[in-house]
Amino acid sequence: MPDLPGTPLATWTQDGFALGRIPAFRDNYIWLIGQAGGSRTVAVDPGEAELLERLLDARGLSLAAILLTHHHADHVGGVARLLERFPGIPVFGPALESITGVTRPLAGDETLDVPGLPVPLRVLAVPGHTRGHLAYYLEPGQGAAPGLLFCGDTLFGLGCGRLFEGSPGQMHASLVSLAALPENTLVFCAHEYTLLNLPFAEAVDPDNAVLAQRGEEIRRLRARGEATVPMPLALERATNPFLRCAEPALAAAVADMAPDGDPVAVFAALREWRNRW
C-alpha cells in the first residue's frame, strides 16, 4: 500500500497528524485523521465501510470516532457496519439532519475534544448543500503549519455543492466563511471533482492566469491517476469562481443574470449556470 499523498489510496504524516485518503464509489473520498505515530484514527464521511476496515487492518489502527458532514448516503452509508465493529465510539454529525447512529449532534460553533485527535476540533455550520451541513477545522500548528479543513460537499476544487436544501444566500455565506480561514489551510473535500469543474471555471474566468496554470497541473495529475485533493485554500480563493463572486470579472460573466453585481446574485447566477453546464 503506497504512502504518498499523490496516489489514489494514500496515508501520510504532516505536522503531527496521520492522514489517510480512501477513494470510494466513483469519486468520493473518505478521510482519516489521527495523531502521527498513534494507533487510533478518526473517519470523516465513511460512506462505505469495507474499504475503511481494510485500511485499518493493514495499518493496525482502531477507529476512535466518526465525523459526518451531512446526511447523504455516500457520506453516512458505512456508519452502521463500523459501529458493529467499534461499538460505543462517538459519532458527530449535524443536529438539523436525521442520521442514524449520530451520538453527538452539533449545530456549529462548537470546539470539541475528539478521541484520537491531538488538538481540539472546530465545528463550522455551512448550510446550503443540505440544511445542516457541517465542516470540521483543525487549527494550524506551530510555525507555518496549515490548518486542515474537512468540508464535505460545501466546497470542491474549483466548485461548490449543489443547493439541494439551502438557499443561494446560505451557500454564499458558507463559502465566504470558509474563504476567510487562513490562506494556507488545506482543503479536504469529499469528492474528486476538480477536473470536472475545470471547464466551467475556465469559461467564466477566461483571463485568470493562475487558473490557466492550475488547469494544466490538474490535467497532468488526473492523467496520471493522481488526486487533486487536498488543495491550499489560497489556490481556491484565486481560481474557484464561487469564492470570487465579489470580483468584477465574475460579475461581468453573469451581468445579464445579475446586473447589479450583488455577490449573492452573482453566486446564484453562477450556480444556476453550472447546473445547466
Active-site residue set: 70, 72, 74-75, 129, 153, 191
Q: Is 105 exposed, middle or buried (0-12, 13-18, 19+ CB in 10 A)?
A: middle
Cell matching residue 17:
497528524
Query: Between 168-179 and 263-276, two packed helices, what is the crossing angle to 10 degrees?
Result: 110
C-alpha to C-alpha distance for 55 and 139, rounded to whole angstroms: 26
Return the exposure string of 249-270: e unless at least 16 CB atoms fall within 10 Å of the residue's CB, then b.
Answer: ebbebbeeebeebebbbbbbbb
Q: Tell which residue, 25, 257, 268, 61, has the closest CA to residue 170.
A: 268
Residue-level length of the chain:
277
Residue type, 207: D
